[in-house]
Amino acid sequence: MVSVYFYLALLLPVVSAHFSITYPYWRGDSFATQYTRPCGGVNVTTNRTEWPLDGGSLSFGAGHPWAITYVNLALGDDETITFNISLIEGFNQTGKGDVCFSKLSIPESLGIADGTNASLQVIQLGELGSSLYNCADITFKKDAKILENDQCKNSSTIGWEQLGSSTTSNPPPSTTDDESAASQTGGAAIFAPGSIAALGFSTMLIATLMGLAF
Ligand SMILES: [Cu+2]
């Protein structure tokens, strides 16, 4: 006779660490190879989700207690594409569950046209120090839409924390005025105008995210 615990075990959800992209449709199941850059060991596909020209929705299922998270874009449609266009400021995504950005904006300077192919890359860096990767292949289309609100949900378990050092941290004791000025300049350089726009945007997104979460 089979133990009742056997049947109970069948009812348990698959305890999947790692993460999966749920929209746009990901390249494919990468769970066995998700540590492989740049796309979790899954090659580019022709299964492309249509995205609006100025940016679209992204949702993923998070399976770790926390992960430093980045979203990058690469233009093109083969294995040589480079994910060097950051769509958000990196953040610490906390909690397990569904995460959704209703709209990740695309910089106008990229000159995206109707029919441009690209891929999105989501990176999650967890406590063990290895990054996890997933990609989704997209085609920019002028008539494409972002997800409806009821299709873009954030689980109540999901949280967000900004990265970076505190603005109130003290300079090292030996720092002279000149060095202090230099370090402030260095700090400011991190927030170049483009980054400020990106940070502002992602903060806005996260505000939306948190608003939905609570
Ligand atoms: Cu995992």
pLDDT at 54: 97
The reply to whether the predicted model has a pTM over 0.95 is no
- Distance in Å, CA 17 to ligand 1 centroid: 3
pLDDT at 52: 98
- The distance of Cα 33 from the centroid of its chain, to the nearest Å, equals 18
- Distance in Å, CA 64 to ligand 1 centroid: 6
Residues lining ligand 1 (ion), CB within 5 A?
17-18
Q: Which residues of the chain have pLDDT under 50?
A: 6-15, 174-214
Query: Phi and psi at residue 5, in whole multiples of 5°?
Result: -65, -30
Domain-wise residue ranges, the chain:
15-166+177-213
**In this structure, what token pair is assigned to residue 13?**
């959800």
- Distance in Å, CA 131 to ligand 1 centroid: 10
**In this structure, what token pair is assigned to residue 30?**
């990468």
- Distance in Å, CA 65 to ligand 1 centroid: 10
Please write the tens of the pLDDT for every residue from 98-137: 999 999 999 999 999 999 999 999 999 998 888 999 999 9
- Distance in Å, CA 67 to ligand 1 centroid: 10
CB burial readout 10-26, b (16+ within 10 A) else e = eeeeeeeebbbbbbbeb
- Distance in Å, CA 11 to ligand 1 centroid: 21
- Distance in Å, CA 34 to ligand 1 centroid: 8
pLDDT at 128: 85
- Distance in Å, CA 32 to ligand 1 centroid: 10
pLDDT at 179: 39
Contact 39, 45 (CB under 8 A): no
* Residue tagged 């230099």 (tokens): 182
- Distance in Å, CA 89 to ligand 1 centroid: 22
- Distance in Å, CA 63 to ligand 1 centroid: 6
Q: What is the CA radius of gyration of the chain?
A: 20
**In this structure, what token pair is assigned to residue 71?**
């979203």
Within 10 angstroms of residue 46's Cβ, the number of other Cβ atoms is 8
- Distance in Å, CA 19 to ligand 1 centroid: 7
- Distance in Å, CA 155 to ligand 1 centroid: 18
Q: H/E/C letters for each residue in the chain? A: CCCHHHHHHHHCCCCCCCEEEEECCECCCCCCCCCCCCCCCCCCCCCCEEECCCEEEEEEEECCCEEEEEEEEEECCCCCCCCCEECCCCEEEECCEEEEEEEEECCHHHCCCCCCEEEEEEEEECCCCCEEEEEEEEEECCCCCCCCHHHCCCCCCCEEEECCCCCCCCCCCCCCHHHHHHHHHHHHHHCCHHHHHHHHHHHHHHHHHHHHHC
Q: Just give the CATH number of 15-166+177-213.
A: 2.60.40.10
Strand partners, 122: 71, 134
